[in-house]
């Protein structure tokens, strides 16, 4: 059983995280907390920020927060301790930073199916998290 479990959610494909959330609920220790998080593109980078007004970025962030809240209400019982957070930037880096911030002892995430070319060029977020996270990581296949 684990006290602090992070479940990264791809907000564009929320059902993709269903198995991870179910497993987190089974593995959560009494009094523990599930941390649902999602990562959106890094609007803070100068190149990206030059194309978007600050108000547009804030609206996007708020919309994603609402989607994450709706997912939590649908998938988690009210008595389950939870935190919800929206981050900007590289998914693997943001997940690893969040591990440190909330002192997580487990990450449960679903690996995306990507082609060999994508893996070579971009790398895999799940493999980066496994390599660098300071806690246990459980990667599920979709």
pLDDT for the residue numbered 61: 87
List the one residue out of 104, 83, 106, 93 whose CA is nearest residue 37. 83
pLDDT for the residue numbered 56: 76
Over residues 88-133, the pLDDT tens digits come to 888 999 999 999 999 999 999 988 765 554 444 334 888 899 999 9
Check pLDDT > 70 for residue 140.
yes
Whether the pTM exceeds 0.85: the reply is yes
Q: CA 64, 48, 120, 6: dihedral to nearest 10 degrees?
A: -30
pLDDT for the residue numbered 114: 57
| Cα distances (angstroms) measured from residue 129 to each of 58, 60, 63, 136 | 27, 25, 26, 10
């Amino acid at each position: 059983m684990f006290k602090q479990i992070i479940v990264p959610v791809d907000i564009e494909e929320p059902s993709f995280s269903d198995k991870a959330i179910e497993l987190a609920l089974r593995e959560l220790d009494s009094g523990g907390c599930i941390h649902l998080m999602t990562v959106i593109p890094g609007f803070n980078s100068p190149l990206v920020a030059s194309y978007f007004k600050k108000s547009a970025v804030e609206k996007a962030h708020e919309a994603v927060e609402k989607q994450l809240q709706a997912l939590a209400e649908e998938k988690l019982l009210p008595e389950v301790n939870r935190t919800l957070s929206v981050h900007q930037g590289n998914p693997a880096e943001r997940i690893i930073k969040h591990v440190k911030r909330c002192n997580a002892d487990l990450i449960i995430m679903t690996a995306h199916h990507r082609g060999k070319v994508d893996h070579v060029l971009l790398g895999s977020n799940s493999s980066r998290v496994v390599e660098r996270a300071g806690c246990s990581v459980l990667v599920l296949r979709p």
